[in-house]
Structure 1
Amino acid sequence: MPIRNRRHTVERDGGDLTIWHGHDAAQQQRALFVLSFRQRDELAAVLSRAGWRVVAARRADGLRQRVAASGTAIAIVDARGAIDDGIAATAELARIAGHGDALLVLVSRGDVDRLGALHDAGATHFVVSPIAGEVLLQAVRSAERHVLRMGGGWHDPAAGAGAPLGWRHDAERGSLQLTPALAEATGFAETSDPRTLLRALGPDGRQPALAAIRRLTEQLPATAFAHDLPGLGRVVQHVARDAHSGRLHALVEPLARVGDIGAVVREALGSVRDHAGAARWLDRRIEAGERPGVRVLAVSGVDPINRQQGRVVGDMLLRAVERRIEQAVRDAGVARATLARLGGTAFAVLLPHGADAGLEAAVAQALARPFVAGSAVVSLGLRQAVVLAEPGEDGAALILRGQGGLPGGRADDGPRRAPAGDADGLSGEVGRAIDRGEIAILFQPQVDLLSGRIVGVEALARWAHPDRGELGAELLFAAAGQARLSARLSAHVQQLAMRIAAAWDAPLSRLRLSINVTAEDVAQHDFAETLLAAAAASGFPRDRLTVEITESGLITELGEAAGLLATLRRAGCRVAIDDFGTGYSSLAYLKALPLDYLKLDRRLTQDIVGSHRDRVVVRGVIDMARSLDLTVIAEGVETVEQRDALATEGCQLYQGFLCAEPLTVPALAALLG
């Protein structure tokens, strides 16, 4: 591509690192600069696979200098979810654009009214979401044609002559070569021992460097990581593996330091816990010799909203209830109290000292005011009961006793759990169901948000009961728990799913398979070895297997769980934390556990189209996960609006009824075919 380049750039020539100068850059491989505040890696991967050399950034710091140094006449600004920042970046780049340069801007569908502002800022091309990979590539080809016809070459009079900072690693020769500018800036030799440089980076730099290199695959040929580099400060390294030579190449960009994303998310998430987190909170206080209490709250009147306006509106209503309860607790002045969502429309206020003077009246008054739910104004009912811990009672038993003390039975759409009576009545049949082959597996697709392709499935159990028809996994596992057969059932479901998937032909044979792990599984010291042996026996490849573990499935001792999961990862499996966002303690798991995927709980998925405050929380969770190099999967996506909003915020995968319900193998094959 004839680029009038006035600076040095770093390029590949037959797999070697070459420094091009001036007009010789006309011979270089096609280059792109990408600024994406939320989907840098996804865009870079799509463009790299199409043959582009990509320099990608998440921040607009030093934008003009970075684009000028990239050696490209095409820049992409991804303004989805950050329209004001996108307009500002577009205007900044327009100041240094030559006559034939192309400035392509990606825009969310909800921001099409700002296209005029982007055009005035200097954009030459637009694409409006949702953006499939092929659509993006055609838009870039259009921008390339513009450059070819007009001629172009970004330049920045204030940028200086800046020689490129980069390196090349040849694994066969064991050599690492630095560009002269990088060697001069860091004080390292131009030809260095890779191990010496890794040691010099320290653990904070060495770990992200090795993690980034391990991420490189045929599907992800380029990636980036940030760290502190001696002599340069905070930098981003853009790393790519040459498909022909296998060598690694990197461009190094100096950056400003980033803030503490985790602190923002911790502040936003507050103290709301789930059922399991509430029980653990109470257990800790009981073990400390305290006598905590629980005020259980059952809300009624939500079920009609779910039926009339859908589950999304119903869950938004429950979030509003949650906020009012939190405010009532603060107004009542109950010290160190915390709120838990027990499931469905049941809540609990956890009381460290068992005292909640004035809280009953404060909560009743807060929920007495009408709520706006979609197109309706509704009034909700409330029942309350308070209990104090008795000697020998644990947290789970205390919560159960509080729920049993509610006046007038349970809420109209109470906790979405199998009725205890149903589980009791079926418990004697679980063993026979396993032996008779009544347990079936359905597969729910997981979709890449950028390309729209189905890339994986989650295996979900169903019970084909001879008398009652199909029963869901919740009732099945509740009955197994009553019969003390949870571990046997879980192993059966895992093995059955792997055997079925191992027999798949193309196109199913390329899909990842996710299987669920229970608390009983984690408690078994030899579980990792047992699961790996089952995978080997089934013939399903470990490198396409993902183990999903929920917050409630993790044992109290995170060290043991971390060791178990690390064993699975070393064997080639991947690990996901499921239902993330149901409790504050989830943050501790991100620090302690070796993870690859974070699955957003469906409540967070639905919050993405809620209030501005809700969306900020979801955005914070996604940003935090991505800063930890985790792939984000959204569960329970039911609408196009949810899908597009999640894509805008940087979520990579989704599953839910928008794509498909859990499917049989023939139905799944038909969907992919």
Structure 2
Amino acid sequence: MVEKAGWPVIAARRPHGLERRFLASGAAVALIDAREALVEGLAAARALADAVQANGAAMLVLLTRRDASVIAATFEAGATHYLAGPVSEGELLQALRFATRHAERLAGGEQGFRRRAALVAEEAKLWRWSPSLPHRVALSAALAGAIGHPTEPETVARGALLPALGRGGLRAALQAIERVLARGGVASFAHNAPDGRRVAHHLMAEGGAIIGHVEPVDQGFGVENAPRDPLTGLEDMRGARRWLEGRLGHRADLDPPLVLILIGLSRFDMVNAAFGRAVGDTIIRAVGRRIERLAVPGHGRRRLVARLAGAEFAVGLPGPTSLEEAELLATELVGAIARPFVAGDHVVTLAARVGIAPARAGARDAGDLLRQASLALADAREGETARVRVFTHGEESRRAEDRRLELDLRLALDEDRIEILWQPQVSIATGRIVGVEALARWRHPLLGELGAEALFAAAERSDYLVELSTHVQEKALATAAGWTGPLGRLHVAINVAAADIAEPNFADALLARITTAGLARERMTVEVTESELMTDLGAAAALLARLRASGVRVAIDDFGTGYSSLAYLKALPLDEIKIDRRLAQDIAGSARDRIVVRSVIDMARSLGLAVVAEGVETEEQLTLLAQEGCTFFQGFLCAPPLDVPALARLIERQQTRG
């Protein structure tokens, strides 16, 4: 399924060397199939967790439905995403897209992700064979260099690979190629190279040709047993972990017992693309020497200097040390890396970002420290200006809670645990409830009731935003369509997210949902948050015009929170605006605050728009809003968000009072 959708696939059927193989692959996503093999799957997740985190990647774990109770354990093992089966092709591919987008964010956005992918491609050991040239094989520069073959000409005779493959390897290669050509999909084969190394080839079809990805698979290859990174001579990931574990266990009484610094080179793929792999390797070695010269003098082997993967390095400062010392060194490292490098005839300038994580007193887990430093590095890459970020331990619990929410949200959607509450909207002129806004609530089993803001933030982080928004809309429409009596006369407002607007044919899809629910369009109001319209005002205007032409009312929610309010009033087809709660509550503040609110209301009324004030909590606020000409209000002065029985009782009491 995955290969057919266009992802290059490397299969790892055995746990041996899993972390090294993942790092060497440069993959953005680790997919673990734990269905019917939960113990083995969680063990694989734990083995990969540090590599996934340190490399800014994602981990998707497949579970069975009956394994839903271990989602928390899956998260603790290192998963960033999960999918409970049975799994359809569409669900799997969508989950992989979500996981890829997660890795993209950690890489600093789409451009950063593409740069990292280009760097991985430069380092990949690949060969390409086409039936149109059956006696020739194209080699990547990295593979050609690994087997000692010149990279020119672009292709080599098939027989020239015999010394590297051996006759058994060549025969296995031809058989695997025949399988892919006959049946499609992917195939793998392994063989012993002439020097005794065990090598695997992963094959897939692409554009009528066969692509082979070459990787070492056992300890005999050398990298597994190498105590240091073969390119720079520094410690590698395994050496870094051994150093961290040794220092954490040796001086656990210090606070902090050590500080870990992660250094990531920015846009290093552009160096390989512009100057070639040989120049890139030369510069990586030079970066390693600069880091070592700054970090080690006067401290010798007490300090750690390692190359973790690709263009990332680590420096470990053993205790007694201080966070201030680490920040000073990090700033010096950024400055040192910013000085030009000379490689042959080329002068290259680089930039770096740094993440710092101090270990807690008594800490024992090197994996936790690596993950914390990686989170700080990811923040530094996302930031506009700060090149050095420090991880704080309060942030860890917040991030852990965020990730737990993202995982739990998937299950909550599957099991229909998202509730709809209704906040009354009141006519200021008559004091009667004339409408309601549908608001999502999630009663989390551990965190209690979560409102729409926390719920939709979790959905956005986990890429379930459209699914959650659709779920809430459909549930609200179905509920309101079944109302009779006074409830059946209420206008119903539902919220539309920015991700909804970006969906193709969203207006038609929403209108179809309204029709399916059986709710009159004249009773419907669609609310769009102001900030969510800023990306493409023209497309938003066309979508809202389509809804409005069908009979649905259109409102801007949280009006006054952004910078484009006037442009929206001018460009968009609207029926009402909803004044943001902070703006509405400010009316009881200074004279200046009241003038601002008055101006907003005057503008809206001049354009023939109704005005709804949100968050009204006091009689004073309501009186002042009424004096300025506000039309409707909602807020705790009338009622908090209510379930349907409470809403019905409130309206009944209002009618009884006359």
Q: Which has the higher contact order (CA 8 A, sep 6+)?
A: 1
More helix by share: 2
Which has the higher Rg, Structure 1 or Structure 2?
2
The TM-score, its normalising length taken from structure 1, stands at: 0.39
